[in-house]
């Protein structure tokens, strides 16, 4: 399967934080091609390969941002509040799938500009309302409080090498790790965790790291890529390769090794310098049990936490090549 085919397959299933089980059911056949597959009590999908060297924990999160149902109005509109860091500036008019007793199509309500008097209606408290075209009585037959709602899945090519899709954060990271397993000849033991609940606090990776009790870890997540209105000092660049993390909580030895490998193998790379926490699962894995020396590689991505996240396939492949070699060197 090509990288772009794999990315399309992985970005299709819903998996709002706390309800990743639907993704497991959709993807377990694919994951079984890469090792022994299981799903733990936290909703983490774990792919394991035996080996005779070090035990390496690989992590990329499976869960996504989305919404949870908080109520149904007398007119049949569905009240929602965000799960994770949804960019509420992009929500009005958004297409959703509400996951109740059956999947229900909905659209987020918005006031036409003709009636808004030029005032911004962006939600400041993370709430919104969806129209599902039903009466309250009919809506309550299929939707109830606590049900999740996800962005309507989309996947489009942008030019020759880029794609726009829902949930590249962090299904793109999972693609990186699966491709790395295809490329590597490592004899080390590998536990690849497609972790749950990263968007709501990292509880999935925390538990997976405790269970794995690995010698070291490497996490893959997304990071910011430049756009016309961004601060270039705070962003990486697309098609400039993997962003190698440097942070006080990360292993300097492994960060330096990743840079050395990139130079030796002529893999383009960027350094991502952080002065403390990384905002990824690496923060949780590194303090598991007695401590796990950890590395972080990030995929440059535009429009994070919107339904139209953009990544470059060349960056995904270069991330995978870098990590494949890393798995052989440690």
Q: β-strand 55-61 against 216-224: which pairing, if any?
A: parallel
In sequence order, which residues have a C-beta less than 8 Å from that of residue 75 and are 6 or more positions away? 135, 136
Is 140 annotated as catalytic? Answer: no
Q: What's the CA gap between 198 and 279, in Å, rounded?
A: 10
Q: What's the CA gap between 263 and 204, in Å, rounded?
A: 34
Sign, CA torsion 130/136/140/141: negative
Q: What's the CA gap between 112 and 119, in Å, rounded?
A: 11
Contact 235, 226 (CB under 8 A): yes
* Total residues belonging to the chain: 330
Region for residue 289 given its phi and psi (left: phi exceeds 0; alpha: psi -120 to 50; beta: otherwise): left
Q: How many CB atoms lie within 10 A of CB 120?
A: 7
Token pair for 263:
């130079």
φ/ψ of residue 43, rounded to 5: 95, 5
Q: Per the residue annotation, which of 19, 198, 309, 325 is the catalytic one?
A: 198
Contact 305, 17 (CB under 8 A): no
φ/ψ of residue 14, rounded to 5: -75, 165
Enumerate the active-site residues.
198
């Amino acid at each position: 399967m090509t990288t772009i085919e794999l990315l399309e397959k992985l970005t299709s299933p819903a998996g709002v934080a706390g309800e990743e089980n639907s993704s497991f059911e959709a993807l377990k056949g694919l994951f079984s091609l890469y090792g022994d597959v299981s799903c733990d009590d936290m909703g983490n999908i774990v792919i394991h390969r035996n080996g005779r060297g070090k035990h390496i924990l690989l992590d990329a999160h499976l869960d996504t941002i989305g919404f949870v149902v908080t109520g149904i109005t007398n007119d049949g509109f569905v009240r929602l509040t965000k799960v994770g860091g949804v960019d509420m500036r992009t929500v009005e008019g958004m297409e959703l799938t509400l996951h109740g007793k059956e999947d229900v199509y909905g659209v987020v309500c918005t006031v036409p500009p003709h009636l808004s008097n030029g005032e911004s209606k962006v939600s400041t408290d993370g709430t919104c309302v969806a129209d599902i075209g039903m009466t309250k009585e009919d809506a309550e037959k299929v939707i109830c409080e606590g049900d999740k709602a996800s962005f309507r899945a989309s996947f489009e090519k942008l030019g020759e090498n880029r794609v726009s899709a829902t949930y590249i954060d962090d299904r793109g990271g999972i693609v990186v790790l699966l491709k790395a397993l295809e490329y590597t000849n490592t004899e080390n033991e590998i536990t690849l965790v497609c972790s749950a609940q990263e968007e709501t606090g990292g509880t999935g990776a925390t538990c997976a790291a405790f269970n794995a009790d690995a010698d070291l870890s490497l996490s893959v997540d997304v990071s910011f890529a430049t756009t016309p209105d961004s601060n270039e000092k705070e962003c990486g660049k697309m098609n400039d390769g993997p962003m190698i993390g440097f942070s006080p909580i990360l292993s300097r030895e492994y960060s330096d090794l990743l840079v050395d490998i990139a130079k030796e193998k002529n893999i383009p790379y960027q350094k991502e310098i952080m002065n403390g926490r990384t905002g990824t699962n690496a923060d949780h894995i590194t303090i598991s049990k007695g401590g796990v020396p950890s590395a972080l590689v990030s995929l440059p991505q535009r429009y994070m936490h919107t339904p139209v996240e953009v990544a470059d396939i060349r960056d995904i492949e270069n991330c995978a090549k870098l990590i494949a070699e890393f798995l052989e060197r440690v």
